[in-house]
């Protein structure tokens, strides 16, 4: 049977509180029993001492009876009960009459003994050589209801200890929760693209403060590495785009020159290739810019349904001229989101162009926007060949072109650019099986 583990601070706190309460309760019971035992032992010693005085000198029964009468009247032993019976059980002398016979030896008496003034006591009983029995009884509670009061005092004392420990435990759990929440919110901000987010440090010298300082130093190091890598890629893209643009311009000018007629077709292909290379560099720079998160400062309220309708209307002719049917399903309501309208427009354009490019003529491309469970959903669906489930993650990565699409023009950055835009808007982009075809779904939170 697998062992259950504690996976949350709440369960750990509850388990610790229960264990602490059980341990304290056991300790309280132990102290109470030890206290009772100590009191009983002292009472037993007193009864044995009184019995030795009664039996001192091998006294006969009349002498023992006289001693009992004398001891009963003395102040120091007035709280002790005496009882002397003959072998037939008849009372010879004494000042108590128990409701039931007392066992030989030492025992504890309670209310059922029916001895006036005794709520809890101890009895010492010995059988004498002639068959007679001598019994001595003493109260083990100096005050009425002392046992209940003792229990109440112990309960209050140990209860206060438990309360203090529980308060300390839950204060520690709360401090841990607060610090974990601070680390979690910082991590979420970094996931959203804010690489400048850091864990707040209140007391650097404390355990949690030291952890926050170390965590922030790690984030600083990661930020430096990311900035360096981004700077290198940006520098390469910028530095290469300028000579490539000049090369593209020269090839385009050369392609229309009269003397280039014999190689005009090859020059046209070279011009197209250079355009593709420039598009790749532009897409890389665009993705890098979006992943930086700076564009989030310009967010505004956008009606996703109206935006998708405008893009669909603009690309409908492109789709139909390429031999595909295009339909748009618009809800009869506003679907508000917070975002950058230009980036969202680019996302929808990329997804529609991707569907048109990778489906055969005669396919149908469907654009739809709807609300679902407090979220805005935009989906672009086709009935083409689709993407196998095992290849969908690769299709969302940069340059993640699949073997089936390598004969078509493209650079494998359309879907990654859409993913970057979705992530910037705190949304998700998923690829699903449309049976047949592919369904690309963008999920964004509805604006308040």
Segment 170-194 mean pLDDT: 80
Spatial distance between the Cα atoms of 124 and 105, rounded to a whole number of angstroms: 6
- Angle between helical axes of 9-55 and 146-191 (0-180°, round to 10): 160
Which whole number is the average pLDDT over 70-78? 72
Per-residue pLDDT, 123: 92
pLDDT at 404: 46
Higher pLDDT pick, 357 / 151? 357
Instruction: Give the burial string for 232-248 (b: 16+ CB within 10 Å, else e).
Output: eeeeebeeebeebeeeb
- DSSP bridge partners of 94: 83
Instruction: Judge whether 237 and 222 are in contact, CB under 8 Å.
Output: no
Of 15-29, 34-48, 236-250, 415-429, the poorest mean pLDDT is in 236-250
pLDDT average, residue stretch 305-318: 88
How are beta strands 300-303 and 336-339 bridged, if at all? antiparallel
Cα(441)–Cα(430) distance, integer angstroms: 5
Is the pLDDT at 294 greater than 50? The verdict is: yes
- Which stretches does DSSP call E strand in 348-427? 364-372, 375-382
pLDDT in tens, 172-183: 778 888 888 888
Determine the pLDDT at residue 137: 92
pLDDT recorded at residue 234: 64
Please compute the mean of the pLDDT values over residues 8-36 and round it to a whole number: 75
pTM (2 d.p.): 0.49
Closest CA to 413 of 277, 246, 226, 294: 277
Task: Return d(Cα 82, Cα 78) in angstroms, integer.
Answer: 10
SS3 content of the chain, % helix, strand, coil (to 5): 55, 15, 25
Nearby residues of 137 by Cβ (< 8 Å), 6 or more positions away: 47, 80, 81, 82, 83, 96, 98, 102, 109, 113, 115, 118, 121, 122, 123, 124
Q: Give me the pLDDT at residue 403, please.
A: 47
Taking the CA atoms of 202, 204, 208 and 210 in sequence, report the sign of the dihedral they define: positive
DSSP-H helix ranges across 192-263: 207-255
| pLDDT, tens only, 133-150 | 999 998 876 544 555 666
Give me the domains of the chain, ranges plus CATH numbers: 9-147 (3.30.450), 207-291 (1.10.287), 295-445 (3.30.565.10)
> Which CA distances in Å does 240 have to 250, 284, 287, 438?
15, 12, 17, 36
Whether residue 393 is predicted with pLDDT greater than 80 in this model: the reply is no
Better pLDDT: 199 or 391: 199
Alpha-carbon distance 283 to 399, whole Å? 11
Chain centroid to CA 388:
35
Answer for the pair 142, 122: CB distance below 8 angstroms, yes or no: no
């Amino acid at each position: 049977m697998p062992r259950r583990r504690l996976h949350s601070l709440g369960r750990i706190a509850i388990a610790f509180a229960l264990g602490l309460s059980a341990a304290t309760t056991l300790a309280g019971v132990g102290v109470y029993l030890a206290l009772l035992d100590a009191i009983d032992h002292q009472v037993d010693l007193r009864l044995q001492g009184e019995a030795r005085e009664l039996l001192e000198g091998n006294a006969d029964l009349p002498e023992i009876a006289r001693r009992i009468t004398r001891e009963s009247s003395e102040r120091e032993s007035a709280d002790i009960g005496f009882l002397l019976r003959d072998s037939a059980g008849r009372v010879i002398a004494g000042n108590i009459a128990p409701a039931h016979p007392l066992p030989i030896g030492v025992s504890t008496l309670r209310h059922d003994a029916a001895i006036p003034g005794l709520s809890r006591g101890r009895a010492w009983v010995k059988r004498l050589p002639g068959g007679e029995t001598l019994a001595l009884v003493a109260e083990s509670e100096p005050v009425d209801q002392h046992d209940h009061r003792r229990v109440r005092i112990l309960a209050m004392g140990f209860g206060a200890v438990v309360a203090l420990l529980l308060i300390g435990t839950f204060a520690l759990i709360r401090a841990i929760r607060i610090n974990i929440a601070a680390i979690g919110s910082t991590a979420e901000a970094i996931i959203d693209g804010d690489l400048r987010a850091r864990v707040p440090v209140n007391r650097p010298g404390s355990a949690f403060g030291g952890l926050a300082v170390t965590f922030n130093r790690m984030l600083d190091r990661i930020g430096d590495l990311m900035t360096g890598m981004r700077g290198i890629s940006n520098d390469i893209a910028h530095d290469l785009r300028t000579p490539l643009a000049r090369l593209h311009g020269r090839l385009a000018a050369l392609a229309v020159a009269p003397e280039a007629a014999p190689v005009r077709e090859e020059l046209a292909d070279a011009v197209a290739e250079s355009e593709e290379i420039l598009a790749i560099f532009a897409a890389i720079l665009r993705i890098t810019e979006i992943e930086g998160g700076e564009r989030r400062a310009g967010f505004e309220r956008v009606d996703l349904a109206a935006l998708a309708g405008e893009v669909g209307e603009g690309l409908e002719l492109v789709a139909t001229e390429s031999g595909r049917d295009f339909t748009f399903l618009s809800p009869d309501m506003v679907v508000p989101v917070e975002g950058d309208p230009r980036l969202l427009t680019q996302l929808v354009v990329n997804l529609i162009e991707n569907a048109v490019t990778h489906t055969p003529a005669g396919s149908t491309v469907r654009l739809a926007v709807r609300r679902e469970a407090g979220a805005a959903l935009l989906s672009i669906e086709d009935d083409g060949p689709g993407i196998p489930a095992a290849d969908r993650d690769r299709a969302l990565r940069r340059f993640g072109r699949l073997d089936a699409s390598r004969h078509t023009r493209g650079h494998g950055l359309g879907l990654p650019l859409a993913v970057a835009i979705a992530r910037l808007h705190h949304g998700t982009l998923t690829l699903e099986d449309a049976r047949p075809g592919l369904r690309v779904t963008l999920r964004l939170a509805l604006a308040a």
